[in-house]
């Protein structure tokens, strides 16, 4: 675990931006099996999605946010803006700084009317934890609600235990003032089953 409590960005009420409506995605191009659309302008996927030209084009992706994993070469995506933030998928890794930078990038993409793909290697731990933090900080979700929303979007929710504990600490310091998902020392290591995580969630009063 990090040696001190992570310092996450403050919770900010969501403000609807006047975005230019995006052209509809072609029905003939379904999302790649491993990519999830979490919000109209926010996709979550593995590194392989960064080289999927048809997906990037049909989804109108303007930004790629790489969490601890360099995007795959994609010579057809010259117009895409790339952001890379370093983060190891280890329980001892402090994700607070990466969350703060990621939230600022996602905020800017939404404000400017863009579309962002957030990815790591497999989109189950690092990038997923970052998107969960965004949903909590900007959309007012509890940790449990954020994980459930990601699951409904088709994501495989398997953050490492350290990330999950840090998200829980963030939740306790902001939304609701108490954790809705409890993870003890050593839990989830090597298993990472979302049912085990959500099964420990508390009930909001």
Closest residue by Cα to residue 106 from 134, 143, 139: 134
> φ, ψ for residue 194 (rounded to 5)?
-60, -30
120 given a catalytic annotation:
yes
User: What whole-number distance in Å separates Cα of residue 204 and Cα of residue 37?
Assistant: 27
For residue 47, how many other CB atoms are within 10 A of its CB?
Answer: 19
Q: Which of 77, 96, 120, 161 is catalytic?
A: 120
Q: What share of the chain is helix, strand, coil (3-state, %, to 5)?
A: 35, 10, 55
Angle at 151 between CA 148 and CA 157, to 5 degrees: 100
What residues act catalytically? 120
């Amino acid at each position: 675990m990090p040696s001190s409590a992570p310092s996450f960005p403050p919770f900010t009420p969501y403000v609807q931006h006047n975005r230019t409506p995006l052209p509809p995605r072609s029905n003939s191009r379904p999302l790649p099996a491993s990519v999830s659309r979490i919000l109209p302008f926010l996709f979550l996927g593995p590194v392989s999605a960064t080289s999927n030209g048809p997906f990037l084009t049909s989804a109108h992706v303007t930004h790629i946010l790489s969490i601890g994993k360099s995007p795959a070469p994609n010579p057809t995506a010259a117009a895409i803006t790339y952001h890379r933030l370093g983060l190891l998928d280890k329980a001892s890794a402090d994700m607070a700084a990466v969350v703060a930078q990621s939230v600022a990038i996602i905020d800017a993409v939404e404000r400017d009317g863009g579309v962002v793909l957030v990815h790591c290697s497999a989109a189950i731990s690092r990038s997923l934890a970052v998107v969960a933090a965004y949903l909590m900080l900007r959309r007012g979700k509890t940790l449990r609600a954020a994980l459930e929303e990601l699951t409904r979007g088709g994501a495989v929710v398997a953050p490492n235990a350290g990330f999950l504990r840090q998200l829980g600490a963030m939740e306790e310091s902001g939304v609701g003032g108490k954790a809705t998902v409890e993870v003890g020392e050593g839990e989830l290591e090597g298993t990472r089953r979302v049912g085990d995580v959500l099964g420990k969630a508390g009930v909001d009063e």
